[in-house]
Amino acid sequence: MWRALWVTAVVVGTAGCSGTVSPQPVQGRTTVAPSATYFWKVGTSSLEWGACADAADFRASVSALPVGMNSFLIYKTDADAKKAKAQSCSSLDPATCTDSSSGIVFDISGTELEYRRPLLKEALRVRDTTGMERDSACQLTQLETWTMRDNGQTFELEVTNALGLVDDTMPPTDECDQIENSLIARSANMAGVRGCIITFKLGGELR
């Protein structure tokens, strides 16, 4: 029933090189540099669960974002340092970068960047009384928010994924309640998917 929950990572692999390539932070600064490409080397990746079901089949569909030796978070700020577009680069050279196919554009406030993805909905798969699998009237909703904190030489990125269930049919069925109650019954912590918040965390340093 539970397909893999996902976030579109803006973590790309690049060919490594030595030296600094990003604008270096000035002590006491209150904003990021305009018209600049920032390369952040990702060093840590973790996952935190909120009040979510702990049923094995539910949690097995979620894992921390994968990172490797040459994983980077890269974005380019605009001329006013108000927006930043995620970038895809073949090396640690701004000349090799293009706008990421993810289409992610951060809003910048001081040294904090934020992106909110439009609400995602996906029908959950269920089995009917004959054993045939079908799309349920109940949809899993995912509201994803990215918050990236530029701490100077280091960064922190949190991607929160707020989950829910919705039935847009008229009149609505009781399939969402059935799915939620079944998940609660299979979970030792007696939690479901409604109100569940999953937080993906990345950390690293400026290059």
Task: Please state, in angstroms and rounded to a whole number, the distance separating the CA atoms of residues 87 and 21.
Answer: 14
Q: What is the pLDDT of residue 151?
A: 93
Q: Is residue 108 within 8 Å of 35, Cβ to Cβ?
A: no
Locate the domains of the chain by residue range.
Answer: 31-206
Task: Tell me what the mean pLDDT of segment 97-122 comes to.
Answer: 94
Query: Which residue, among 151, 161, 142, 164, has the nearest Cα to 201 in the 3D structure?
Result: 161
Predicted local distance difference test score (pLDDT) of residue 10: 57
Say which residues have a Cβ less than 8 Å from residue 163's Cβ, sequence separation at least 6: 5, 52, 140, 141, 142, 193, 194, 195, 196, 197, 198
Preceding peptide of 94 cis, ω within 30°:
no
Reported as a pLDDT band with limits 50, 70 and 90, residue 127 is confident
pLDDT at 13: 54
Q: Are 120 and 142 in contact (CB under 8 A)?
A: yes
What letters, b where the CB count within 10 A reaches 16 and e where it falls short, cover 137-170?
bbbbebebebbbebeeeebebebbbbbbbebeee
pLDDT of residue 189 exceeding 60: yes
Regarding beta strands 83-89 and 71-77, do their DSSP bridges make them parallel or antiparallel, or are they unpaired?
antiparallel
In this predicted model, what pLDDT tens digit does every residue of 44-103 receive, in sequence order?
Answer: 999 999 999 999 999 998 999 988 888 899 999 999 999 999 999 988 899 999 999 989
Give the per-residue pLDDT at 27: 64
pLDDT per position as a tens digit, 3-17: 545 455 555 555 555
Give the confidence band of 21 by pLDDT, cuts at 50, 70, 90: low
pLDDT of residue 133: 83
| Predicted model pTM | 0.86
Question: Mean pLDDT across the stretch 143-162?
Answer: 95
Residue 134 confidence class, pLDDT cut points 50, 70, 90? confident
User: What does the alpha-carbon distance between residue 115 and residue 34 come to, in Å, rounded to a whole number?
Assistant: 18
